[in-house]
Structure 1
Amino acid sequence: MTQLTNEAIRYIEDTDTGLHYYEMTPQEARASRTVPKWQSALAPTLASIEDKKITVRDDSKINVRIYTPVNEKMLPIIVYYHGGGWVFGDLESADAGCQLLADKAQAIVVSIDYRLAPEFPFPTPVFDAYDALLWVHEHAAELNGDPSRLIVAGDSAGGNLATVMTHIAKQENGPAITAQALIYPVTNTNFTMDSYKKFGAHFGLDIQGMEWFSGHYSISENLANPLVSPLQAKDFTDLPKTILLAGEADVLFDEGVSYAEKLATAGVEVKHIVMPGLIHSYFSKMEYFEKATIETVEKIAAFINCPSS
């Protein structure tokens, strides 16, 4: 039986009351989920944090935030995609985790503010994510980054986008991605795996929430598309080494296991780490899960900086 951490219990008690986000409009849900700025003695000192606008394929501009650690060497680059079910989340919701990643991994981190559904449903977030990846690769030298050490990372829906980037980059002969760091990623959208039955209510992400997110992100005919559900991809060979971190009590747990198994079967180096007693969305909710977020970043940093086996 799963034993939740005290932090997870407190988070559930504080948030599992009143009107749920999936009973609101997307606009109302976004307004209800603003993230307080992380202020802590454990926050790192970075050389700079810079906001920038970049142009994507339809000539729209999206925001990115560039985190540079105190290090004058040419550094790896982590392209980070925030979570939020493709419907909410932004640069602020990912800010604490990205600060920590830049410091712990000694890497340039570029956080991507891709456009959100339902105003911009699939495939727009995928296009924004890939166009941002191309921009980072093309401008690596300006960022003091090494284009030969390019990593994608993300949590939840952002983890979904990160892993989709590896498939697109391979198919289109795009930038070589050396690693992916996936924090409880969405890899499937059929809501039938056993972890949905175990943790589908009152564990931070309900099954109704995933149905709400997916319904806003894509029409039902696209839910089995590998660019929405990468577990449905046919080919997993030649993808970058992968670290996948999972909250033990998460509706997405089983699809993460299945994705890691498919990668391993295809010969990809994979490290699957279970975070005991934790629930979906723990990462970067610093008022509850500061310690767990720091531990997660440390595990990612160790993995991406370790030579491939």
Structure 2
Amino acid sequence: MSVYDNAKAVLALSEPDPEYSQFILANKQPQLEFSYPLVQAVRQRTFAAEQQRTAKAIESGRLEECRTITMRDGFESEIRIHRPRVKPNDGSPLIVLAFGGGFVFGNVLQMGGTARILNDLYGATVVCISYRLAPEHPWPQSHEDAWDSLVWIAQHASSLGADANRGFVIGGASAGANISAVLAQRSLSDKLAVPLTGAWLNMPMIFKTAENVPEKYRPLYLSDEQNANVPGLLNKSALEYIRSAVKGNGFSAMFSPVNAERPHVGMPPVFIQACGMDVVRDDALVYERMLRDNGVKTKVVVYAGVPHGHQTLFPSLAKSKQAKFDTIEGIGELLGKTVSRTDVENAFIASAS
């Protein structure tokens, strides 16, 4: 049983975190009106920032490279391979990461910071995938690209320097978490060359609307209304733009894992992170409950009183730092590896220097 299995406990998660409240009072946040010009501007700005961070990493001696792989329609999609500077004697586990951005922005460099920490602490080989974005390429293009990439990576793990038998985890944030959940579920029926051993889902969107939530769990699906107008990156207005751009089918297994013919049973362990003030908070909590009800090993951590994407938007907050550290520790647990919080903190410090 989880502490989040009753409506009262779930609703309390939206009580603003005091540190977050103080930050917002001192730093008024603009309310974004999503549009295609805004999406284009965000794409350009974030890619430029990621390029700078990547260049710094390369200068410090990081072992990483981009290459392209062929999708089912002949499109050449980019992946970025992050290798550990010191390869473990018993083999390098494999981690596949999918970026976030509501399926409308994001890029293959976005998860680089996380990948480098995973290189250092676990000796993992990390492959960041990319996928074509909406509205230019509506659903299911994003998920098809991601699946084709995952299949290719599983088939070529050894040539990438990884031993997937030492651990094979998929994960992502926001839209990347949705993709990771869908692919993990699909891998149970469409077998990969090596089976996944874990999934990390950070702020996942699992249901297109409340209509797609199984009736049994609807009493716990409250965040779409409770957090509809929260300030920040993602609220109901932003979701409406994303839904219109993506054109996903909420009843398809290629949009939500709960729609699979035999959902949940056989899933590898799943680590879920959620934000208390997030409009998709209860996507995470309801999905975790569904997995748990079907015998899947789960771990869920909720950061009460902060919004979607707080780790990126407000990195100085204590809960944002905690979430970043929890991500690394949680992925390690999926690999069967344990490190101390001090080791994680030191890895972040070293990576930033």
Using structure 2 for the length normalisation, give the TM-score: 0.76
**Superposition deviation, residue 5 in structure 1:** 5.7
1:53-72 residue pairs with structure 2 within 5 A? 53-72=68-87
3-state secondary structure, aligned to 2:272: strand
1:187-226 residue pairs with structure 2 within 5 A? 187-191=206-210, 193-204=221-232, 205-218=234-247, 222-226=249-253
CA separation of 1:36 and 1:79: change in aligned 2, threshold 3 A: same
**Superposition deviation, residue 157 in structure 1:** 0.6
CA separation of 1:186 and 1:174: change in aligned 2, threshold 3 A: same
**Superposition deviation, residue 231 in structure 1:** 3.4
- Counterpart selection for 1:147 from 164, 173, 176: 164
* Identical residues among aligned pairs (%): 25
Aligned residues of 1:105 and 1:301 also touching (Cα < 8 A)? no
Q: Bigger radius of gyration, 1 or 2?
A: 2
Aligned residues of 1:115 and 1:128 also touching (Cα < 8 A)? yes
| Bigger helix fraction | 2
1:264 aligns with 2:283: no
What is the CA–CA distance in structure 1 between the aligned matches of 2:231 and 2:314, rounded to whole Å? Answer: 18
Deviation digits for residues 144-177 of structure 1 (CA, Å, limit 9, x no counterpart) = 2112221110001100000111122111122411
1:229 aligns with 2:264: no
What is the CA–CA distance in structure 1 between the aligned matches of 2:280 and 2:111, rounded to whole Å? Answer: 20
- Counterpart selection for 1:113 from 130, 142, 158: 130
CA separation of 1:60 and 1:274: change in aligned 2, threshold 3 A: same
Aligned residues of 1:151 and 1:178 also touching (Cα < 8 A)? yes
Provide the residue aligned with 1:30 in structure 2: 43
CA separation of 1:19 and 1:239: change in aligned 2, threshold 3 A: closer
Unpaired runs of at least 5, structure 2: 1-11, 212-220, 338-353
**Superposition deviation, residue 19 in structure 1:** 4.6
1:20-169 residue pairs with structure 2 within 5 A? 20-22=33-35, 24=37, 26-31=39-44, 33-34=46-47, 36-37=49-50, 47-73=62-88, 74-148=91-165, 149-169=167-187
Aligned length: 302
Aligned residues of 1:159 and 1:182 also touching (Cα < 8 A)? yes
Aligned residues of 1:46 and 1:68 also touching (Cα < 8 A)? no
Which amino acid letter does the alignment assign opposite residue 160 of structure 1? N
**Superposition deviation, residue 271 in structure 1:** 0.6
Deviation digits for residues 172-231 of structure 1 (CA, Å, limit 9, x no counterpart) = 122411100110111111057311222222343111111211221125xx1222221223
Provide the residue aligned with 1:184 in structure 2: 203
| Bigger strand fraction | 1
CA separation of 1:233 and 1:78: change in aligned 2, threshold 3 A: same
**Superposition deviation, residue 270 in structure 1:** 0.5
Unpaired runs of at least 5, structure 1: none
**Superposition deviation, residue 277 in structure 1:** 3.4
Provide the residue aligned with 1:173 in structure 2: 191
What is the CA–CA distance in structure 2 between the aligned matches of 1:182 and 1:272, rounded to whole Å? Answer: 9
Deviation digits for residues 242-270 of structure 1 (CA, Å, limit 9, x no counterpart) = 00011122111111111111111111111
CA separation of 1:288 and 1:216: change in aligned 2, threshold 3 A: farther
